[in-house]
Structures are given as structure tokens and as C-alpha cells.
Structure 1
Amino acid sequence: MGKLEGKVAVITGGAGGIGNGMARAMAKEGAKLAIVDLNEEAGNETLKQLQDIQPDSIFIQANLAEHEKLNNIIDEVVGQFGKLDILVNNAHASRNMSFAETTKKELDLSFDTGFYPTFYLMQAALPYLKETKGKVINFASGAGINGDANQASYAAAKEAIRAISRVSANEWGPFGINVNLISPIAKSPGMEAWAEEHPDYYEAMLKKIPMRRVGDIEKDIGRVAVFLASEDSDYMTGQTMMVDGGSIMLR
């Protein structure tokens, strides 16, 4: 039996990149999956891949910026599978620009697609996570921890997600619910496109990674997500897991 046999997991942004890698890793460990994504074509393609591994997988097409509809995602998953064990808040959109140029438009995009969906989906999932003593996996970023240039809106939303993750870890610990974060560096399609456009910056980034490579979305990020979703992490909560090859070493 896999580490997640019989568990039900929701992964936002599950149709591509890190979300896809986590979905495949969890499916191979027996999890029943609901992947949520705005991109219907990519979602259906990913669903086909997942169903070859885990037939009990579904795709939910949703715009996470429509906050009033987020409860429907949790309701659909519980209606389909009867419970919820794992909530993975991975989706996030943002635009990079200098602090001085950043406007409310950029802040709204980052918070509307990243922070608020994380917040509201956690609230909607709480009653079901109490029943299963479930797991929440949220996403942080080195951009927020380090304060990377030209990423004001993204960094702000990511650090806000870290803040509510710690608050909920304190409040939800007595219910047996674990809330942790992953801060990754991974070879997603976005990263690959950036590397092609800016090879010099990419090589400079690699030199700053002690492991001298970018993480694999399934083998590196996905496996840590499996750990955080499984009983192996039962005594961990409120922690930020730096899955970045040693780029940032928290103290």
C-alpha cells in the first residue's frame, strides 16, 4: 500500500508545473485526486495522465479569483469522494515589476489568485479536515523570504500565506490538522521558458544553488509533498520546507 492509500487530495493549479508533479507523486502513493485549474485543456490532459495511475481522479475547472465560488470546489470533492484529507494550495499568478512601478492592479492579481484562494479554501475545508485529522500544504517562495527585486506583489502575497499558515497551525493543531509550507525551486515550464530567454541569469542562479541543479517537479517537490501529506509528518506543523537545493537555509 502507498503512503496515501485511500486519502483524498485537492491540488489547485494541478494541471501544470509543480501542481502536476505533486499530483503524479500523490497518485502513485494511492491518493484519490481532485485537480483544480483554470486551463480546461491542460486540466483534461493531466486528468488522462492521472487516471492511468489512479482511476479515482477528477478535474474541476475553476477560476480561483471568483472567491464566492470557492466553497463549491470543496463541496464537489466531498460530494464525489465523501471526505477530504489533503488540501494543497499551489496556484498563484503574478506580474514582476519594480516596487516603484507596482500598482493595486498587480497587488490584486497576486492576492486574488494566491492569498485569498488559500485563505478561503482553508476555511471551507476546515470542517472536513477536522473529521480526517487532515493536512494542508501551502506554498511560500524565496522571493518573499529574501525580498527579491521586482517581485513586490508576489513576495507580499507569499509572505501573507506564510503568516496565515502559522496562525492556522497554532489554531488547528488541537484538531490534529497539520499546516505546512513548501518553498520550492523547480524545473516547471515557466522556469524552462525563463531559462531559454535569460540563459545568463539562469546560469548565475544555478551557481547559487549548493546542489547545482533545479528541482524536479515530481521527484523532488512531489515527494516532499507526499511526505507532508502522509502520517510521516504528523508531528510537524507551521513549518516552511525549503525544497530549493540549499538556496535558502532558514535559521
Structure 2
Amino acid sequence: MRLKRKVALVTGGGQGVGRGIALALATEGAAVVITGRTESKLKDTAAEIAGRGGRAHTVVGDVCERSDVDHMVAQTLREFGALDVLVNNAQSSVQRRLEQTSYDDLELAYRSGPLATFHAMQAALPWLRESRGSVVNLGSSTAVQGDPTFASYAMAKEAIRGLTRVAAREWGTYGIRVNVICPAALSPAAELYLTAHPEHAERLAADIPLGRLGDPEEDIGRAVAALVSDDMAYLTGATLMLEGGRTLIG
């Protein structure tokens, strides 16, 4: 129960990596607010947390909208009275080759990724200063590797890493830690993609020294729980590669 009496806000917490992180934080004792666009998915995650004896609250909203992001933070404070951990997980994008990538593709990736992350961090700052809290932003090994067909996504994820480093320097004086994780996990989106592209699934497995994609809760969520706990209190501005060693081989 390393996170007992802590309050966490996880965007995109209804499925995949976000769900895994929310479950792991709740298991460690945190009260968790999970947000996303699909209420049924949020309710399912919240019910699972409650079934384990944890506390969860759901907020429906779109991180592309600044007013929705402000509402997510406000609801966290109204429900639990504090904010100690912010996890910016939500992200939308489309896959196309670089020459086919449009401005609309870039706008979608940027609005849901670095701009949403920026807005959430700004909205949460007063409360994170009060709690000397922790921010975890989501990067991607796909961006680090420069995988083909991921131009808009890679651009957005690397922008998030730049934002994270600046925040780590500026907010360290407040006692706030800001880090990035780059996960490779078997989320529903990853599963759909790999099912549709079996040749890529084989290549990906061969590129991961540990031989598998991570589990969203056991491999990614538990690492985030450790990262935001006092056990990692001296780490900020870092990128934690949670991808089974994939970027060692690319």
C-alpha cells in the first residue's frame, strides 16, 4: 500500500495501458479518478477497482478539449479533495506513411497528445505544488525507434518528452517530479493492429529481448505505481523504457 492516502488522475483509463495503470495505482492504495470518452469502459474499470476494495471515480470527457481537461481536474478535487499523481495516458492518432500524412492527422495527434498533456499539467499544477506530487507522461518506443507509418504519432510523443524535461527543470523547485514512460503493452489497440498485420507481430516479437509485449497492469501499471511512490523520490526528467528491451535491438 505504498500509495495509501494518495489521489491519482489517469486520462484514458477505461482500457489498455491506462486501465492497467489505474488498477495498479488503486491496488497500491491510491484513490483513482479515471477519465475517457466512453462511459461504459470507465464504469467497468471503476467496478473492478471497487471489487478489489479500492476507490475510483469516473469522469467522461475528451482531452482534446481544454474545458473537459479543466473539468477532470476539478472533479478530482471535488471527489477526493487532493491531487498527488497525474498520469497523461490518453492519445489518439492514425497510421499512414509520411507522404500520405495530412495536417488533420497531425492536429489529431497533437491535440490529444502534447496539447492535452500540457493543459492537464497546467490545470493540475496548483494542487501538485501543494502535495509535492508526481506527473507521468506517456511517450512511445515507436517514436524512439522511428517506426514507419507512425509519423504523426511519433512527432506527438517526442513533443511530450520535450515538455516533460522542461517541466522537470521548472517544477523541481516545487518538489514535483515529472517523468515519461515508453511502454510496449498488449493493449486492445495493439492487439487489433497485430491481428491485422501478423507479419509485424512476428517481427515485433523477434525485436523484444524478453520475447513478449508487456501486460498493461502487471508490467506497466506496477512500474508506474513504483515510479510515483517515495521509492523513486529522486528521479525526475527521465524516460523509463518499459518495452522489454525493444529499443536495444532496433
Name the TM tier (shorter chain): over 0.9
Q: Which runs of 4+ in 1 moved over 4 A?
A: none
Question: Which shifted more, 59-68 or 4-13?
Answer: 59-68
Consecutive unaligned residues of structure 1, counting only runs of 5 or more, are none
**AA aligned opposite 1:10:** L
Question: Is 1:177 the counterpart of 2:187 in the alignment?
Answer: no
Distance (whole Å) between structure 1 residues aligned to residue 77 and residue 108 of structure 2: 29
Question: Can you list the C-alpha shifts for 1:64-121, whole angstroms capped at 9, x where unaligned?
Answer: 1112332111111011111100000000000000111111100011011111110000
With the length of structure 1 as denominator, give the TM-score of the two structures: 0.96
- For the 8 Å contact 1:84–1:129, the answer to whether it is kept is yes
1:55 deviates by 4.2
Give secondary structure in 2 for the equivalent of 1:227. Answer: helix
Corresponding residue for residue 239 of structure 2: 240
Distance (whole Å) between structure 1 residues aligned to residue 121 and residue 182 of structure 2: 19
Corresponding residue for residue 55 of structure 2: 56
Distance (whole Å) between structure 2 residues aligned to residue 99 and residue 191 of structure 1: 20
Distance (whole Å) between structure 2 residues aligned to residue 187 and residue 55 of structure 1: 24
Corresponding residue for residue 113 of structure 1: 112
In the TM superposition, what are the counterparts of 1:7-86 in structure 2 within 5 Å? 7-86=6-85
- For the 8 Å contact 1:242–1:249, the answer to whether it is kept is no
1:249 deviates by 4.1
Question: Is 1:127 the counterpart of 2:129 in the alignment?
Answer: no
1:40 deviates by 1.1
Question: Which shifted more, 197-206 or 171-180?
Answer: 197-206
Give secondary structure in 2 for the equivalent of 1:248. Answer: helix
Corresponding residue for residue 196 of structure 2: 197
Give secondary structure in 2 for the equivalent of 1:245. Answer: coil
Distance (whole Å) between structure 1 residues aligned to residue 53 and residue 59 of structure 2: 16
**AA aligned opposite 2:132:** K
Distance (whole Å) between structure 2 residues aligned to residue 208 and residue 56 of structure 1: 38
Distance (whole Å) between structure 1 residues aligned to residue 41 and residue 72 of structure 2: 18
**AA aligned opposite 1:225:** V
Question: Which shifted more, 111-120 or 65-74?
Answer: 65-74
Distance (whole Å) between structure 2 residues aligned to residue 54 and residue 138 of structure 1: 27
Distance (whole Å) between structure 1 residues aligned to residue 67 and residue 75 of structure 2: 15
With the length of structure 2 as denominator, give the TM-score of the two structures: 0.97
Question: Which shifted more, 190-199 or 209-218?
Answer: 190-199
Give secondary structure in 2 for the equivalent of 1:92. Answer: coil
Give secondary structure in 2 for the equivalent of 1:58. Answer: strand
Question: Can you list the C-alpha shifts for 1:122-163, whole angstroms capped at 9, x where unaligned?
Answer: 001011001111000001112221221111110111000000
* CA separation of 1:135 and 1:201: change in aligned 2, threshold 3 A: same
Consecutive unaligned residues of structure 2, counting only runs of 5 or more, are none
Question: Can you list the C-alpha shifts for 1:40-81, whole angstroms capped at 9, x where unaligned?
Answer: 111111111111124421000001111233211111101111
Distance (whole Å) between structure 2 residues aligned to residue 27 and residue 54 of structure 1: 9
Distance (whole Å) between structure 2 residues aligned to residue 214 and residue 103 of structure 1: 30
> Percent identity among equivalent residues?
40
Distance (whole Å) between structure 2 residues aligned to residue 72 and residue 116 of structure 1: 16
Give secondary structure in 1 for the equivalent of 2:149. Answer: coil
Distance (whole Å) between structure 2 residues aligned to residue 206 and residue 160 of structure 1: 27
